Structure 1
Amino acid sequence: MSTGASQPSQAEMGAMLSLAAYAAPPIVPKGLALTLIVVVLVTAILATIIIALRVYVRGWISRSSKVWGWEDTFAILGYLAFLCSSIFAIKAAYYGLGTRDDDLSNVLMVRCAEYMLYSQVLYGISMPLVKASVVFTLVRITTSKKYLWSLYAMQALTTIMAAVGILASLLYCRPTKAYWNPLLGTCGNFMIVVNIGYAWTAVGIVTDWACAILPYLIVRNLQMSRRSKSTVMVILGLAAIASTATIVRAPYLQYYLVEKDRLYWNGYISIWCQLESGIALIAACLPALRMLFRKYFEDSQNSSKANGKKQTSGNRNIGGSQLSIPMGNLSSAGKVAEVGGRWKRLGDDNSSATHITQERTISIETESMSDEELHHHMA
């Protein structure tokens, strides 16, 4: 009769490993892990400010015009997915993401891999949503069928590729929990996931550059000033900046297959994924903020004009010229003390019918003059 205890099964050992992983305290991030946290936090804060301004402009300032559209809804959904992805990336950094294997235990690696998977899946959800915001912004300003079909095809390709990547990550191990705890199941050939990652990267680069080129093709024939066209092209073309992060991230995909320091190298991948998503989101929101900047500058100009008017009083119009008569220092002679003028150009920068007018200001200083004397002097 055997008196020794029976060995636990693989499932039981996996369950014990999970319990130990959730009981383990986080580490103090250093080096790359700390850099990851700082970069993700800064990007998330900037994206939060920009998306809040977008909601303020589209939902409050423009509420009477009812301009809220699909591009705004997709931007909000993309931001929520990006924010959740950033949170899980930071949590992963506290359990080993961006840290060398020598400073980690198997228990910490299990917890880190779980959060890392959540972050990657949410990143995969955020990118097609953010791209949809850019696409529907461009759809608003074009009626050309060839551009519309190009935009819809680009969005469909991005969405399909993201769906394939997400499913590949979730179905790579059965059950999915085996992705971070190998004792709970079995996993397939990870090379398939890596190849999908390369294809996803290529599609991202192509669609980012398409989002940069199409605004030029769409806006160039619109009836608007050259300066306005340039502004719209630059703002909408900023989405191409996100492709820089995609290109930089591409060489790091090979480290998905390494055995040593895999979580450390995945820290670089997470940094560039979050930068790509955050920059794309900010660029997608900038076109909606043009109204806010325009309103700010108009309010500043109106305030300056109002302050200028307060400095003079007793204004009278004579023969179409504006007379500004200060009431402080009046002289009996009633002489003209100052005559000033400035030239003003009417019309925008590209107007073919530009007119030149002159604004003249004549200040008359008087003292103790009655209305009759003033009328006689003016006559």
Structure 2
Amino acid sequence: MGAVLSAAAYAQPPIKPEGLALRLTVVIWITAIIATIVVGLRIYVRAWMLRRARVWGWEDTFAVLGYVAFLSSSVFAIKAAYYGLGTRDTGLNTFLEVRCAEYLLYSNVIYGVSMPLIKASVVFTLLRITREKKYRWSLYAMQFVATVMAIIGILASLLYCKPVKAYWNPLLGKCGDFMVVVKIGYAWTAVGIFTDWACAVIPFLIVRKLQMSRRNKTTVMVILGLAAIASTATIVRAPYLQYYLVTANRLYWNGYITLWCQLESGIGLVAACLPALRKLFSGFFDGSRNGSNPRSKQYTPGSRNNVSSHLSTPLDSLSPTGKTTVSAGKWKRLGDDNSSTKHIILHERTITIEAGSISDEEKGKEEPWRSGDN
């Protein structure tokens, strides 16, 4: 009978998503497109723009792997929406429910794979800018807990029914107590919220000690702390976990859970990539900063005017090995382990001069110096 049900289910044509199912599909598509653009830009910056500096690191690898998992989970979530996810029972039949449950399981399991990978990208980014043991061990512990919790959640989903196919086709086997899966889901959610906020707090503790201007410190803290935004989706999703146990309109309520799961991973992925994209906008920010004062201009050799220094911190240029490069007449020191022990991420010095009027008294003082030149 199980084989007959499976054959009939696979012969069932998809339905047109409406209501929540349609909103679910649109949101996932938009999130996936944005994530694709951002990850593509990250690969361009790290693998092409900075190829000579060889800054590609584990955080970039984990971001790409997390993106692949996120995209795969999104594909299965959309397919599930075409077979009943986000649709009430009145618009479904048994065959649609079988197909939907299968795609939903695939989406949930791959979502479980994507989250620790995305978290690892954030963690390894933070590990680049600190050598203090208390922060490094905190980051390692956070990543370990998040990974273990994800593994437990994945195993709970896959081992709930024997064989696994019984998860979507109950005629093929037997399933255990689903309350165990629900409890693990709550624990997983709590761990996700905690680690997301830890990823926001730790950058503040690290960067506040660095030798940077207040403006750059604020920029770095905001960029590195954006991962906490993903916790918003996690918090919103938490109340919907109770609907795992309902029998009426179960796939409809699961639509909300899937929606917030995909938003959580998508937002987390985008936030994890933002620090690497600063290189794309560094020219704009430098130009705005230097051009904001009409009396300031770029330093040129031989100028006799007073000079002032500005510091910049291109997070995208952080490198495991110390390197120094010159770009557009400005020296940039790429961060390394030695620099991080001194609480210096990067050092970019732009020399500017102030052009202003000189009083008669100052001109008189300047004449002997001019004569000496002649």
TM-score by length of structure 2 reads 0.79
Which residue does the alignment assign to 1:222?
210
Consecutive unaligned residues of structure 1, counting only runs of 5 or more, are 1-12, 304-318, 322-342, 361-379
Name the structure, 1 or 2, with higher relative contact order (CA <8 Å, separation 6+). 2
Q: Which moved more, 1:290-299 or 1:139-148?
A: 290-299
Q: 2:31 aligns with which of 43, 50, 53?
A: 43
- Rounded to whole Å, the distance in 1 between the matches of 2:306 and 2:102 is 66
Q: Which residue does the alignment assign to 2:231?
A: 243
Contact 1:174–1:186 (CA<8 Å) still a contact in 2? yes
Q: What residue number does 2:355 align with?
A: 358
* In 2: Cα distance, 1:299 partner to 1:39 partner: 36
- Alignment-derived partner of residue 195 in structure 1: 183
Structure 1 stretches of 4+ with a deviation exceeding 6 A read 299-303
The answer as to 2:114 corresponding to 1:126 is yes
Q: Which amino acid aligns with 2:157?
A: S
Counterpart CA distance in 1 for 2:70 and 2:352 is 51
| 2:153 maps to 1:156 | no
1:57 to 32, 45, 62: 45
TM-score (norm 1): 0.78
- Cα distance in 2 for residues equivalent to 1:24 and 1:240: 41
Identify the match of residue 104 of structure 1 among 88, 92, 96.
92
Verify the 8 A CA contact 2:212 2:311 in the aligned structure 1: no
> Tell me, what secondary structure is at the counterpart of 2:355?
strand
Over the aligned positions, Cα root-mean-square deviation in angstroms equals: 2.6
Which residue does the alignment assign to 2:308?
A: 346
Give how far 1:226 is off.
Answer: 1.3
Query: CA–CA distance in 1 between the matches of 2:177 and 2:17?
Result: 31
Is 1:73 the equivalent of 2:61? yes
The alpha-carbon distance between structure 1 residues 320 and 105, as it changes in their structure 2 partners (threshold 3 A), is: closer
Match of 1:276 among 240, 258, 264: 264
Aligned residues: 312
What runs of 5+ residues in structure 2 fail to find an aligned partner? 292-301, 313-350, 358-374
1:124 partner amino acid = G
Counterpart residue identity of residue 357, structure 1: E
CA–CA distance in structure 1, aligned partners of residues 353 and 127 of structure 2: 39
Give, in angstroms, the shift of residue 295 of structure 1. Answer: 3.6
Deviation (angstroms), 1:148: 0.4
Is 1:286 aligned with 2:274?
Answer: yes
Contact 1:344 1:358 in 2 (8 A): no
Whole-Å Cα distance in 1 between the matches of residues 252 and 212 of structure 2? 51
Q: Which amino acid aligns with 1:21?
A: A
- 1:208 corresponds to 2:205: no
Structure 1 distance, partners of 2:184, 2:47, is 39
- Tell me how far apart the structure 1 counterparts of residues 270 and 354 of structure 2 sit (CA, whole Å): 42
**How many angstroms apart in 2 are the aligned matches of 1:92 and 1:255?**
17
Q: Residue type matched to 1:50 in 2? A: V
Q: Which protein shows a greater Rg?
A: 1
Query: What's the CA shift for 1:346?
Result: 2.9
Q: 1:44 to 1:99 in 2, by over 3 A?
A: same
SS in 2 for 1:96: coil
C-alpha displacement of 1:37: 0.2
